[in-house]
Every structure is written in C-alpha cells, then in structure tokens.
Amino acid sequence: DAGVTQSPTHLIKTRGQQVTLRCSPKSGHDTVSWYQQALGQGPQFIFQYYEEEERQRGNFPDRFSGHQFPNYSSELNVNALLLGDSALYLCASSFWTADNSPLHFGNGTRLTVT
Amino acid sequence: GDSVTQMEGPVTLSEEAFLTINCTYTATGYPSLFWYVQYPGEGLQLLLKATKADDKGSNKGFEATYRKETTSFHLEKGSVQVSDSAVYFCALSDPTGGYQKVTFGTGTKLQVIP
C-alpha cells in the first residue's frame, strides 16, 4: 500500500522563477492538503483540495496556487519565487468525509530559492 | 485565530528517563488535538489524538490528556528509548475552520542518549 509520494525531493530555483511540486495521495484518500515548513518551524497550512476544487486556504498570497486531478493527485505551483519561499513543502492526504481523519504526510520537497 | 504553543527544545534525556513535552492551545471552537512525530529523514506521522475534553490519547507508550480547563495537551512517556529521538509537533484542528485544516506548533526536538 503506497503512502503519500512527492516529487521532486529537492529543487533549486532562482528568484522570480516558477515552480511546480507534485503529490500522489495515499491509496483510497480523496483529499490533499499542502503545508509549508520553514526550517525550525511547524508546518503552515497553504490550502486543501477535494473534488478538484480548493476548499480551504491559509494565509498565503495568490502566488501560491494548486490543482487536483481526477485521480486525486495534486500539484502546488508557486510563481515569482522569493528567497522566503525556501522551505520544505509537505503534502498530506486524508478522507474528506471523516471528521478528524488523520493526515498522512509525504516526505516533502525541499525547495531552495537563490 | 487558532494557535499552538509548545515548549522549546532541544530536550536531551538519558534512556529510561521520564518525558514531558508541554503544549497549550488557543482555538475558536472545540478543537481536536494531536501529537505528530517526525523521525529523521521521514515525513510527519500521527502519534496520538484526542477529540474531546478528558480524553486520553495513547500510542507506543506515549500519552496525552485533553485538558479543556487549562487548554493543554501535554505529551508524556514513562521511559524513553533512543529510538524515540525525533521532533514532536502538537497540533489542533478546529471545526469552525474545517477539520481538515491543522494548526501546528513549532515542534520540540527530543534527543535520547544511551
């Protein structure tokens, strides 16, 4: 049973560029959430997708956007990269219909912006 | 808004010592509470949870009790092992914000020495 998989594992980009991160949820899960984890900090909620729609959004600018595909996989896009976007980006999957459904996390994508 | 405050680390203990990691929270509604653990090189995984006042979550010898009167959810273990070395995150999900949005603390690094 495959867990949450993310790609790539590491990425180096230059300020102003755009980046796309990818996530495949745990088998059977229908909801994908994205989190940003800065060094030494806890994960911060970016947004969540269910049925190919953004359902909730955290306090992140519009430069951060996403997409969910019919097979429940998801992409996180960040435009006009800033140095402060350097972080570990975590994808988490869960069941939409279950209250308090625990999040299952991938190992993350380490983004470095230079 | 919702927030989680946990004790700063790192916490260094000898094997078989007693562990307490303090966690307090602020929430708009009546949240569910969680402890997640991040082992070196791995993604976050759920350690335990509690969904209502006075509930005790437990797993792998770890315990935490939901204390509504003190808005706390302290993590305890009677006898730690070297394999418990990891970063521990206290977290909450608030029904007023949608259960799927999880707010995390900053994490507490635990190092257990033989």
A94 at the B interface (CB within 8 A)?
yes
- Give how far the C-alpha of residue B87 lies from the chain's centroid of Cα atoms, to the nearest Å: 10
Give the pLDDT of chain A (114 residues) as one tens digit per residue: 679 999 999 999 999 999 999 999 999 999 999 999 999 899 999 999 999 999 989 999 999 999 999 999 999 999 999 999 999 999 999 888 766 678 899 999 999 999
Q: Which residue of B has its CA nearest to A107?
A: B43
Whether residues A56 and B91 touch (CB distance < 8 A) is answered with no
pLDDT, tens only, B67-89 = 999 999 999 999 999 999 999 99
Whether residues B99 and A101 touch (CB distance < 8 A) is answered with yes
Give the range among A3-7, A11-15, B15-19, B27-31 with minimum mean pLDDT. Answer: B27-31
B34 at the A interface (CB within 8 A)?
yes
A66 at the B interface (CB within 8 A)?
no
Report phi then psi at B40, rounded to 5.
Answer: -50, 125
Omega before residue B10 within 30° of 0, cis: yes
- Please report, for residues A28, A49, B53, the alpha-carbon distance to residue B106 in angstroms, rounded to integers and kept in the order given: 30, 24, 23
Whether residues B98 and A55 touch (CB distance < 8 A) is answered with yes
Q: CA B76 to CA A25: how far, in whole Å?
A: 31
Q: Give A21 to chain B, closest Cα distance, Å.
A: 16
State mean pLDDT over B1-24.
Answer: 94
pLDDT for A40 equals 87
Chain A residue numbers touching B95 (CB-CB < 8 A): 99
The encoded tokens of residue B78 equal: 């009677």
